[in-house]
Structures are given as structure tokens and as C-alpha cells.
Chain A
């Protein structure tokens, strides 16, 4: 099978992201299937940990299933971990507790979470318990919007590639097109939210992988 060239491309060129209701319904179905529940037992405001009894392996399963279903790349780290790396440890977390600035950052970044859930002196271990199904819906939307904006340098729209479900190519010229990185979108949004709070990443490009000695 030849993956090269526009001649082998099949399927519709993609532009508009699916509408909100469709995404919500699909996310709920996937979360329900991964947790072996009926979709009617899962609501947008259901919390994954605790309320729906998700475990870490379920989260991997859910992320993988959402990526496959929507053809997107979701972030792997949770928001709090990424924020700690981005803005420095003491800014976001101190002594295992989320700082007031950290809470404000989370509130701005996760508008779907009820304000009452972000309680002062919340421990980092408690953070995951506030994540809802709607949090996934938001991130899926974010990735879909970014995907919908993809255009080839030639102006062509992205199209799927046979035998390679997670790959996109230009429908017009066949050039490879990258799926937007959910990880990068998360970082962009965090930096944006940080600006609003006057928080700035101290040269975050090097924090992830550089010796800290």
C-alpha cells in the first residue's frame, strides 16, 4: 500500500470541528465505556476520581480512546503537574499544598470546575479529584479547534491517510500535516492564564529536561 502522494488519499478533507453537543455526547459515551458504566450514569459534571471510581489505568484508557475517536493528540500530564514545571515549584505548590496563586491559575484554566471545588490549602494529591468529564470535553474541544485551523502551506485542507488513522496530509498537495500537540496547547493556555495573574515561566523551555543540580 502506498501512503505517498495525494492520489492515495481518500475520505473527506476536514475543516469544521464537530459541534459542542456531538462532542459532549461522544466524550460521555467513551468515558462510560472505559469505566464500564451506562452513559446515563455519566454527566458532564461527574468527577472521574472518586465519583466515577476511575483509576490511573482508566485515565490512560480514556485519553487513548478519545484520541482515537476524535483523531487528536491530548496532553499526557495533568494541568497541575505542568503548571509546577512551568512556573516553578514554589509558585504553584508549597509543602505539598496548592498556593493561592496556583489555585487562581487552576480556576482560570479550568472554567468548568465549580469555584467551591478549589478549596484553600488543597493538597496536590486531592487535585485530581476535582477533574470532571467536562474537563475532558474542554480539552477535546481545544484540540479539535486547533485541528480545524490546520492548513497546508499550499492552502489545502487536511485529509486522513489510509492505513494510518492518526496521520493527516494535505488534501491538495499530499504534504504531511502535523496534528496539533495537546501538550503544547496546554502549555500555551497556561502561559496565557499566567499572564493574567502576572505569573511568568522562568525560562520554562529548559525546565523539563535539564539537570537541576
Chain B
């Protein structure tokens, strides 16, 4: 149930193969039909019709035919969840795992997915839900009480957790969120985890469906979408001179990634080998790529280095190729910079020309297609490529697929926010090139914390926060904001007095970051400064962030929705199109990006290194610290920045806590918690590296672990996770959740007693409020600054996702406080 610490040094250099694939796309609801459609040059793009014939006619997309998608037990699930489950089911059977399932404790799931409330599902009550230009919170709460499934649309960890539950995958359940790079990040992280021995089988991929009215409007307002809606099949035109933006799509692809010996041992058919992954941050702008393609160059180079192959060994690239004027030009330039003269011998295609842009699932379907292309020796075409662009002058396989004997291929993804990812796949029966050299695995490094930063309801820096925590102070429970006051809760704990003008130097970041993401950037800045590391070290540092699920202020839409009501107080698509969209802030989609904290920190501090944004519920921050620990321990990064942020103080988030009866109510303050917000960041560093520069060490991290369970198994899962992180040590104290709910508190107490009778549990939830992702990080900060030696930090998010981090005080302790 627990993952052995995934240090590369411990289980060095396992090879990772693809043993199963599933796909749900606009070209077909299975792998075979999708592949046939892609290589025959078919287009899956049509007018959007799923929300009714009255949907704005200018909206086109690649849509999945839900009617032909059998998903047993899918009642009440949203589209993305159905696609994800169906693709996982296909992949599972394709890999022959239904006859021969892997052991749950060595199996996990890692996917890219998004969250967004589908306004369409609330439209039939919209007249009653709006008071003037604001939501009526009590009526909204009533709607959600009657239809609790509405809130699953904002459940960041939901789809991964469903997949983990269905296939009994207990090692971990992780959701990556890096906009259009999400699935590539998820697959890359799964690959590195398997290679390091952290699991034997991982269902990895992505699923997405952002075709509801507000999502499409959001991309449209940004000017990202093709305007060729009168001819949908010809609209997606990657690398063509007349390209004018991308076409949205929905769907899913899941791959079974398996440690090679495990696959061979059970006689599995192998479809390809994953041999490299690289990621980078542009650290430039939110929606524009670096014009010289620098970020893309760094991620392709990192992937090739990771795979141990030279550029000349690569035969095919499945390009990101979105068909925006900027992306295709920049990607072409980046490929030229990486491959030099060999670029002219490369075959490249963008299968977004057939499928559209699957957003958080794009990297998954594109890796699946790439794997099949190598296996079958057929390279898929770029359709709609009629007019050569002088700035896109490579071989993009126009219109017709091509037979080719290719051994090694890349799959690129570049996301909004500037997170880039690149995967390297090798044909399984390819003649042995010079074998990708085994990585130089060094002995595991000691990992210490050399920088800390925090923004919390208790204070805007570490000293204030910690001093107030030690004095047992509670954050001020603010009189609730307008709207929230209609709910029966005593208030919320807000971050008070935060000055973004002083904390953030980038004007654009101040404009587009939400307060939650601003807190993240500020806390990351504190951690970086307190580490005393020079900018040169920070530029290459790895960056791992746990982010809140949904950072969407629904009030941004209220005015537009109000305007869209007709004379009968009913929503009218015609009115929305003619008068509503003009009232929506065109930057709202950028402002609500779930990876805004990571990308904001990268831009503010010029962090260009490998990165991962985890959007997996309240445990996300500790999971980010775990991933950073693995990166430093393995020697792949000398410095990693890790942390997380959250602001659960938004309509749907508050309701999800309220409806589960987890919040203190005005009448009953003895049970449950109040909600808070904040961010905490840490600099993790190779101890030798820290010692060399005489850095102050706050604590040493000695172990990390995570797991997934059904809520019935939460107690055992938390115990196993804690034990795995602790190894042989017995902690002096645990820093836990303390959510003041009988069932949760009992699990924490029982687990602590099992570890050591009388083991004390500290929690700061009573002081800070329950700050979502940030709370377990406040625990980690508390533990790192405390005198308990050793100490254990854990969190158990709603009995599903469990994470633990074990700490020791440095030998010559000079901790503040």
C-alpha cells in the first residue's frame, strides 16, 4: 500500500515498456478506430452539439460520441471521468491485466486532468441562482445539496481516484495539471517513478473535456481558437501558412506503463519502450512561447539526454503543433535548434490536425499514436497542410500517412503558463542502437531543507507565522464576505495585509495571478531568499508545486449570465452570444489556470528547470515535496523548490466542504473546521551541496511515502504510509491534519498509537483554519522548525490520498524559534 522511496539510486535504472493502450477520441471510442482515423487522414472536428442544438453555432470541436461509449457504473459521472475510465479499461484489457492483475501496492495511476464547473448543468436554475450580478449562495448551496454530483466537476483528484479504485491501484493516485502539458507531465513522472523502482505498473495518461460554454468562450476570448467554423474538418491546420488557431477537442488516452522485467515475467505483449522524459519552464510569459523557442529546446534536449540518445537517432516527432501562428513557428525553430542539419531528415506531424487539441489529454493520445506509429511503421500525416509557410519549413508529412522504419521518436507538449514536456519512445523490436546507456546512478543523496517561506492567515513570513503558532494564537476569523454570509458558517480565515505590489515585481503577474497564486509566488520567493542560493543555481533547480483544484471565481461570469436571461428569466444561448460574452473578462481563463502558481514563480524568479504541478486535492503540497525529495535524493537535481498553495474560499469549494458537513457552523462550533488560505514553500537541497556552501539547514528529510485507498481502508493506508516514510525510526511527534471531525481524528489517533503509544499529534488547523493544500505544508514547516527529533508529517485527504514525510533535525541545530 506504500511506495518504497523512489530514489533512483535504490532501484536503479529499470526499463519501462508500454504494454497496453486505450483511447477515446472524436475519431472513435477505442484504440483501433482512433488509429485508423488518424492514419487515414480523417478529421474528427464538428460543430459542438453536446449541450443542445442551440449552443453557439460558431463553436467547433472534436467531440466523443458518448452514446457508443460503454462505461459500466458511469451513472452520474462527467464526460472526462467517463472517457478516463473507458480508456483505462481498454488499456487494462489490452495489457492482459484483467486476467493477471498486478499487486495493488506496486501499482498506481498518474494522469493529467482538469477541473471546471460546467455552467450548462446549472443553467435550468440560473435565473434563481443569480441576484443581480452575484450568485445567491444559499440557493446555490441548495442546488448542490440536491445534486451533489455537480461538485465532482471541481474535484481535482476525482478521476485518478476513480481509476485507482476500480483497478485496485494503491501505490499512488496522482493528477498532474500543467495545462496542455498535463498528460505529458503525468506520463513523464510515471516513467521516472517506474525507472526508479517506485512502482511496477502505472496507468498513465490523461483525460479532458473542456467543451462547455465557459471553457470554449474562455479560449475564444483569448483569441486562441480557429475561426474557420463554417468548415470544421479543415479548421485545424498545423504548420499551414493560413493557420489561425487551434480547435478544441475532448477525449482520453491511458497507457499501461510497466517495468520491463515485470512485463516480460508475465509474458505481456510489449508495444514500445519509453526511454526518456524532459521538462522545462519557459519562465517567460503565460500565453506566449519564448520567441526563440528556448524553453522547447531545453525540454527536448533534456529528454534526449535522459534517454541517452543523440539527435541523429531520432526519426519522427509528434509535434505539439497546435496551429496557432506562434506555436508552430516557434516549435519549428526549436526543432531546428535541437537537431541542426538532421532536422531536414526528420519526419514530423501534428495529429491535432485530425483530432484537435485534447488539452490535458493531448500528450497522452499523442504518445499513444507515436507508439503505434513506430510499432506499425506508419507515420500519421498532418492534414489540412496546403500552403507551405516559409517559417515552417520542415517535413510535416502533409495529408497522407507514410510507411517508415523509425526506431526512436519524440512527442512534444508545450502548455499555457510555459511548462514544456517531451517524451522519447523507442520501437520495441528496433535493432539495438547503441543501447541507451544506463544512467549514472549515484548513491542516494541526503536531502535537507535549506529554505522556507510561508504566507498564512497567521502571518506573512516565517518568523511571524511560527511565533504566533507557538503562542497558540488563532487567525482572525473574518466577518464573512458578501454572499458567503448567507451560508451558516462562522467565517473564514483570510490572509490579511498581503501587498502584491511589494511581493511581486512582474507587472503581468500582478495583473493575472489570483490572490492564491500570488501567495504562492511570494512564499516561493521567501524560500529562495532564505536559502541564500545564487541565481545560477536557482535557474536549473527543479520546481514541484501542489496547487488547488479550482481557482475560478464564478462571480466573473455572473454579469454575463444575468444578461443572457431572456424575458422569461431563462438562459438564452442567442443572448449569451450577442450580449453575454462581451461582458466576460477575456483573461479569466489565464487567471484561473491551475498551474498559475508554478508558472508565476518560474517567471518571477527565472526558474527554468524540470517541473511538475500536482493538482490532487489537499495532499498535493506534500506530494510535491515527495517528488522534490526523490529528485534531489537521486542526484538528478542538486536543488529543488517545492511547495503549494490553496484558497478554498470560493463558492464551489466552500460548498463541497459544507455539504459534507465538515465545516463549523454558526450554531455548532465544536465540530469541524473553518476554511483558510495560504501557501508554503521549501528549498530542498543535496546535503553535500548545502554543506559546501555553508548553508543553514532547517531539517533533513529522511523519507517520504504516499498511497491511495478507499475511505474504508484509510486507517491501514495511513499507517503503512507513515511506516514507509519512517523506515526504522520512531518519531517524537506527528504533525497531522487535526480537522476536528470525529472519524478523521480517530484515524489519526489510532495510527499514532500504533506507531508508538502516547505519540503526540500536533496540528495547526485550529490556528490557521483548514487551508487545503497549504495546511499539510504548514505542518511540515512546523515540524522543520520544531525541536522534535525525529518528526513525522502526514496528511490523509478525505481517506483517499495519504502522504507522509519524515524529518530529522540537523546535527548542529541552529534553527530559529
Query: Is A212 engaged at the interface, CB distance under 8 Å to the other chain?
Result: yes
Query: Is A133 engaged at the interface, CB distance under 8 Å to the other chain?
Result: no
Question: Is A3 touching B288 in the complex (CB atoms < 8 A)?
Answer: no
**Complex formed: what's the CA distance from A137 to B567 in Å?**
36
A residues near B160, Cβ cutoff 8 Å: none
Question: Is A163 touching B562 in the complex (CB atoms < 8 A)?
Answer: yes
Question: Is B587 touching A61 in the complex (CB atoms < 8 A)?
Answer: yes
Instruction: Mark interface residues in B791-802 (1 if CB within 8 Å of A CB, else 0).
Output: 000000000000
Question: Is A209 touching B562 in the complex (CB atoms < 8 A)?
Answer: no
A-side interface residues, number (CB < 8 Å) = 34
Which residues of chain A from 198 to 213 have any CB-CB distance to chain B below 8 Å in the complex? 208-213
Question: Is B511 touching A164 in the complex (CB atoms < 8 A)?
Answer: no
Min Cβ gap A94→B in Å is 10
Query: Is A2 engaged at the interface, CB distance under 8 Å to the other chain?
Result: yes
Give the residue of B227, B241, B559 whose beta carbon is less than 8 angstroms from that of A208: B227
CB nearest to B242 among chain A residues: A212
Min Cβ gap A52→B in Å is 11
B residues near A60, Cβ cutoff 8 Å: 221-223, 586-587
Question: Is A55 touching B227 in the complex (CB atoms < 8 A)?
Answer: no
12 CB-based A-B contacts, threshold 8 Å: A36-B510, A60-B222, A68-B583, A73-B582, A76-B223, A163-B562, A164-B563, A166-B582, A167-B563, A208-B228, A209-B231, A210-B230
Query: Is A57 engaged at the interface, CB distance under 8 Å to the other chain?
Result: yes
Residues A211 and B285 in contact in the complex (CB < 8 Å), given A36-B511, A163-B563: no
Question: Is B583 touching A56 in the complex (CB atoms < 8 A)?
Answer: no
Give the residue of A1, A35, A163 whose beta carbon is less than 8 angstroms from that of B507: A35
Instruction: Mark interface residues in B377-400 (1 if CB within 8 Å of A CB, else 0).
Output: 000000010110011000000000
Min Cβ gap B247→A in Å is 13
B residues near A96, Cβ cutoff 8 Å: 390-391
Min Cβ gap B266→A in Å is 49
Question: Is B567 touching A3 in the complex (CB atoms < 8 A)?
Answer: yes
Instruction: Mark interface residues in A1-17 (1 if CB within 8 Å of B CB, else 0).
Output: 11110000000000000
New contact pairs (17) apart from A64-B586, A163-B563, CB-CB < 8 Å = A3-B566, A3-B567, A34-B511, A55-B288, A55-B508, A56-B288, A57-B286, A57-B587, A60-B221, A61-B587, A164-B563, A165-B563, A167-B579, A208-B228, A211-B231, A213-B234, A213-B386
A residues near B512, Cβ cutoff 8 Å: 57
Question: Is A95 touching B390 in the complex (CB atoms < 8 A)?
Answer: yes
**Complex formed: what's the CA distance from A212 to B243 in Å?**
11
Residues A209 and B510 in contact in the complex (CB < 8 Å), given A57-B286, A163-B563: no
Question: Is A64 touching B585 in the complex (CB atoms < 8 A)?
Answer: yes
A residues adjacent to B (C-beta < 8 A): 1-4, 34-36, 53, 55-58, 60-61, 63-64, 67-68, 73, 76, 89, 95-96, 163-167, 208-213
**Complex formed: what's the CA distance from A73 to B581 in Å?**
12
B residues near A210, Cβ cutoff 8 Å: 230-231
Query: Is B229 engaged at the interface, CB distance under 8 Å to the other chain?
Result: yes
CB nearest to B234 among chain A residues: A211
Query: Is B33 engaged at the interface, CB distance under 8 Å to the other chain?
Result: no
Which residues of chain B from 171 to 201 have any CB-CB distance to chain A below 8 Å in the complex? none
**Complex formed: what's the CA distance from A167 to B574 in Å?**
13
Instruction: Mark interface residues in B574-599 (1 if CB within 8 Å of A CB, else 0).
Output: 00001100110111001000000000
Query: Is B287 engaged at the interface, CB distance under 8 Å to the other chain?
Result: yes
Query: Is B618 engaged at the interface, CB distance under 8 Å to the other chain?
Result: no
Question: Is A166 touching B583 in the complex (CB atoms < 8 A)?
Answer: yes
Which residues of chain B from 128 to 142 have any CB-CB distance to chain A below 8 Å in the complex? 132-133
**Complex formed: what's the CA distance from A212 to B391 in Å?**
19
Instruction: Mark interface residues in B221-248 (1 if CB within 8 Å of A CB, else 0).
Output: 1110001111100100000011000000
CB nearest to B229 among chain A residues: A209
Query: Is B641 engaged at the interface, CB distance under 8 Å to the other chain?
Result: no
Min Cβ gap A78→B in Å is 11
Query: Is B565 engaged at the interface, CB distance under 8 Å to the other chain?
Result: yes
A residues near B569, Cβ cutoff 8 Å: 1
Interface majority SS on B: helix, strand, loop or mixed? loop
B residues near A208, Cβ cutoff 8 Å: 227-228
CB nearest to B586 among chain A residues: A60
Min Cβ gap B565→A in Å is 7
Residues A166 and B562 in contact in the complex (CB < 8 Å), given A96-B391, A209-B229, A212-B387: no
Which residues of chain B from 662 to 705 have any CB-CB distance to chain A below 8 Å in the complex? none
**Complex formed: what's the CA distance from A213 to B398 in Å?**
12
A residues near B590, Cβ cutoff 8 Å: 57
The 3 closest A-B pairs by CB, nearest first: A4-B567, A164-B563, A209-B230
CB nearest to A8 among chain B residues: B567
Min Cβ gap A67→B in Å is 6
Instruction: Mark interface residues in B475-516 (1 if CB within 8 Å of A CB, else 0).
Output: 000000000000000000000000000000001101110000
Among B562, B585, B586, chain A packs the most CB atoms within 10 A around the CB of B586
Residues A166 and B563 in contact in the complex (CB < 8 Å), given A96-B391, A208-B227, A211-B231: yes
Residues A164 and B390 in contact in the complex (CB < 8 Å), given A64-B586, A209-B231, A211-B231: no
CB nearest to B562 among chain A residues: A163
A residues near B567, Cβ cutoff 8 Å: 2-4
B residues near A61, Cβ cutoff 8 Å: 511, 586-587
**Complex formed: what's the CA distance from A208 to B227 in Å?**
8
**Complex formed: what's the CA distance from A21 to B231 in Å?**
45
**Complex formed: what's the CA distance from A36 to B579 in Å?**
28
Instruction: Mark interface residues in B499-542 (1 if CB within 8 Å of A CB, else 0).
Output: 00000000110111000000000000000000000000000000
A residues near B288, Cβ cutoff 8 Å: 55-56
Min Cβ gap A37→B in Å is 9
Question: Is A164 touching B508 in the complex (CB atoms < 8 A)?
Answer: no
A residues near B227, Cβ cutoff 8 Å: 208-209
CB nearest to A166 among chain B residues: B582
B residues near A56, Cβ cutoff 8 Å: 223, 287-288
A residues near B223, Cβ cutoff 8 Å: 56, 60, 76
Min Cβ gap B788→A in Å is 45
Among B391, B559, B562, B579, chain A packs the most CB atoms within 10 A around the CB of B579
Among B221, B386, B508, chain A packs the most CB atoms within 10 A around the CB of B508
Min Cβ gap B41→A in Å is 12
Question: Is A212 touching B386 in the complex (CB atoms < 8 A)?
Answer: yes
Min Cβ gap A49→B in Å is 12
B residues near A95, Cβ cutoff 8 Å: 390
Min Cβ gap B391→A in Å is 7
Min Cβ gap B587→A in Å is 6
**Complex formed: what's the CA distance from A2 to B562 in Å?**
11
**Complex formed: what's the CA distance from A82 to B287 in Å?**
22
Question: Is A209 touching B563 in the complex (CB atoms < 8 A)?
Answer: no
Min Cβ gap A164→B in Å is 4
Min Cβ gap B491→A in Å is 31
A residues near B585, Cβ cutoff 8 Å: 64
A residues near B587, Cβ cutoff 8 Å: 57, 60-61
Question: Is A3 touching B229 in the complex (CB atoms < 8 A)?
Answer: no
B residues near A36, Cβ cutoff 8 Å: 507, 510-511
**Complex formed: what's the CA distance from A82 to B541 in Å?**
44
CB nearest to B285 among chain A residues: A55
Instruction: Mark interface residues in B131-172 (1 if CB within 8 Å of A CB, else 0).
Output: 011000000000000000000000000000000000000000
Min Cβ gap B235→A in Å is 9
Min Cβ gap B194→A in Å is 38
A residues near B287, Cβ cutoff 8 Å: 56-57
CB nearest to A95 among chain B residues: B390
Min Cβ gap A174→B in Å is 11
**Complex formed: what's the CA distance from A67 to B584 in Å?**
11
